[in-house]
Amino acid sequence: MSHIADRIISDPGLEAGVANLTSEKIEEVVNRVLKGETGAKLKAYHETCMRCGLCSQACHFFLSNNNDPSYSPVSKATDTVYELMEKKGRGIYPYRIYQMAQVAFTECNLCKRCAHYCPVGIDTAYIISIMRRICYLLDVVPLYIRDTAHSHASTLNQMWVKDDEWTDSLQWQEDEARDEFPNLRIPLAKEGADVYYSVIAPEPKFRTQLIYQAAAIMEVAGIDYTMPAHPGWDNSDMCMFIGDFENMGRLKKAHFESAQNLRVKRIVMGECGHALRSVHDMGNRWLGFRDTPIPVVHAVEFYWELLTQGKIKIPKKFQEPVTIQDPCNISRGMGLMDKLREVTHMLCENVVEMTPNRERNYCCCAGGGIINCGPPFKSVRIQGNSVKADQLAATGVQNIVCPCHNCHGGLEDIISHYDLGMHAKFLGDFIYELMEKPEAQ
Beta bridge partners of 403: none
Instruction: Supply the pLDDT for residue 286.
Output: 94
Q: Would you give per-residue pLDDT tens digits along the chain (441 residues)?
A: 678 889 999 999 999 999 999 999 999 999 999 999 999 999 999 999 999 999 999 999 999 999 999 999 999 999 999 999 999 999 999 999 999 999 999 999 999 999 999 999 999 999 999 999 999 999 999 999 999 999 999 999 999 999 999 999 999 999 999 999 999 999 999 999 999 999 999 999 999 999 999 999 999 999 999 999 999 999 999 999 999 999 999 999 999 999 999 999 999 999 999 999 999 889 999 999 988 999 999 999 999 999 999 999 999 999 999 999 999 999 999 999 999 999 999 999 999 999 999 999 999 999 999 999 999 999 999 999 999 999 999 999 999 999 999 999 999 999 999 999 999 999 999 999 999 998 754
Question: Are 353 and 401 within 8 A, CB to CB?
Answer: no
For the domain made up of 147-308, the CATH class stated in words is mainly alpha
Q: Where are the domains of the chain?
A: 4-141, 147-308, 322-434
Helix (H) or strand (E) holding 226, with range, is strand 225-226
pLDDT (0 to 100) of residue 201: 97
Q: Dihedrals φ, ψ of 268, to 5°? A: -110, 120
- The Cα 413–Cα 71 span in angstroms is 21
Say how far apart CA 407 and CA 424 lie, in whole Å.
Answer: 9
pLDDT at 35: 97
- Are both 4-141 and 147-308 of the same fold? no
Q: Which residues in 376-425 belong to E strands, given as ranges? A: 399-401, 423-425
> Top-level CATH class of 4-141?
mainly alpha
Helix H or strand E segment including 202: helix 202-206
Cβ atoms of 399 and 425 closer than 8 Å: yes
For position 96, what pLDDT does the model report?
97
Classify burial at 7, counting beta carbons within 10 Å of its beta carbon; exposed 0-12, middle 13-18, buried 19 or more: middle
The answer to whether 242 and 270 are in contact (CB under 8 A) is: no
Sheet architecture: strand order including 322-324: 322-324, 399-401, 423-425
Residue 375: asked if its preceding bond is cis (omega within 30°), the reply is no
Give me the pLDDT at residue 441, please.
44
Task: Compute CA distances 302 → 6, 65, 84, 266, 282, whole Å.
Answer: 47, 38, 43, 11, 22
Radius of gyration of the chain (CA): 22
For residue 135, CA distances in Å to 2, 49, 100, 242, 361 come to 23, 23, 8, 8, 29
Phi, psi of 144 (to 5 degrees): -65, -45
Give a three-class secondary structure readout of 275-337.
HHHHHHHHHHHHCCCCCCCCCEEEHHHHHHHHHHCCCCCCCCCECCCEEECCCHHHHCCCCCH
pLDDT of residue 440: 54
How many Å apart are CA 83 and CA 153, to the nearest integer?
A: 31
pTM over 0.85: yes
